[in-house]
């Protein structure tokens, strides 16, 4: 039996890019202020794909037999390049989120296959069941902690940007307040309805800075749903 190749970062970012291209006009229309949010999101993930390809090319030049670029390296490269996109506030927002997530994944030495295995576990229940399953292993628990810490860091970072230095929160990672807020976001997403992908994407958006603007929430749900679907499919 031939082993199927695992998902890589180029493929993961490319899937999100295609979904955004398909919905570009709808996302532009959802942006009541500038009418160009769809264009900005496509530009963001074009950069992410290019960054992953650049990391892959660099690794291939260093050693033979490279199977795929590491998730943290691709995210950090994309984060740096997104800072250079002019007149695109969403690019800087996603860049900060990617950098914080990369840091948390590095701390726990997590790779794309770890995220894919957990996504597959979350989405493997029957379609009429929407309760999330608890982590089944220490590795899955590491994934949950890394994701929650990164989302919490991202939310705190964006909140601090609006405060004076004396008002800013200095801790990092997940605290009880954030956990409570994330739990409420999950309950609200579940009450809104939809399949498991919808609920998970809605929860993550509402527990992150993406939920602060309607047009970013809409594109965020599309991106997260697509990424989760790709991750779950890539683990098979």
Q: How far is CA 15 from CA 5, 49, 150, 224, 226, in A?
A: 16, 10, 22, 11, 7
- Helices 37-62 and 89-107: crossing angle, nearest 10°? 40
* pLDDT surpassing 60 at residue 130: no
User: Which position has the higher pLDDT, 122 or 204?
Assistant: 204
Can you tell me the distance from the alpha carbon of 217 to that of 214, in angstroms, rounded to the nearest whole number? 5
Can you tell me the distance from the alpha carbon of 199 to that of 67, in angstroms, rounded to the nearest whole number? 33
Q: What one-character DSSP code corresponds to residue 48? A: H
pLDDT in tens, 169-191: 666 777 788 888 889 998 999 89
**Within 10 A of 99 (CB to CB), how many other CB atoms are there?**
21
Can you tell me the distance from the alpha carbon of 136 to that of 115, in angstroms, rounded to the nearest whole number? 13
- In this prediction, residues 2-29 reach a mean pLDDT of 86
Q: Looking at residue 62, what is its pLDDT?
A: 55
pLDDT in tens, 69-118: 689 999 999 999 999 898 999 999 999 999 999 999 999 999 999 999 99
Q: Return the closest-CA partner of residue 115 out of 79, 70, 66.
A: 70
Can you tell me the distance from the alpha carbon of 124 to that of 36, in angstroms, rounded to the nearest whole number? 36
Report residue 124 CA to chain centroid gap: 20
* pLDDT surpassing 60 at residue 236: no
Q: Looking at residue 228, what is its pLDDT?
A: 95
- Helices 112-122 and 214-234: crossing angle, nearest 10°? 100
What sign has the CA pseudo-torsion 119, 125, 128, 134? negative
């Amino acid at each position: 039996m031939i082993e199927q190749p695992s998902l890589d970062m180029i493929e993961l970012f490319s899937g999100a890019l295609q979904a955004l291209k398909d919905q570009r006009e709808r996302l532009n229309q959802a942006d009541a202020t500038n009418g160009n949010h769809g264009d900005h999101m496509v530009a963001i993930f074009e950069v992410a794909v290019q960054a992953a390809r650049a990391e892959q090319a660099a690794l291939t030049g260093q050693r033979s037999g490279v199977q795929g670029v590491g998730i943290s390296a691709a995210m950090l490269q994309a984060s740096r390049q997104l800072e250079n996109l002019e007149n695109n506030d969403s690019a800087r927002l996603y860049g900060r989120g990617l950098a914080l997530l990369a840091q948390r994944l590095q701390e726990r030495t997590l790779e794309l296959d770890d995220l894919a295995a957990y996504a597959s576990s979350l989405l493997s229940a029957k379609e009429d069941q929407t309760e999330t399953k608890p982590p089944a292993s220490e590795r899955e628990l590491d994934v949950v902690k890394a994701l929650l810490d990164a989302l919490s860091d991202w939310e705190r970072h964006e909140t601090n940007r609006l405060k004076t230095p004396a008002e800013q929160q200095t801790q990092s990672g997940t605290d009880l307040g954030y956990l409570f807020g994330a739990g409420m976001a999950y309950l609200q997403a579940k009450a809104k309805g939809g399949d498991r992908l919808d609920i998970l994407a809605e929860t993550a958006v509402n527990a992150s800075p993406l939920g602060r603007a309607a047009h970013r929430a809409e594109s965020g749900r599309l991106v997260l749903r697509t990424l989760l679907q790709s991750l779950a499919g890539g683990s098979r």
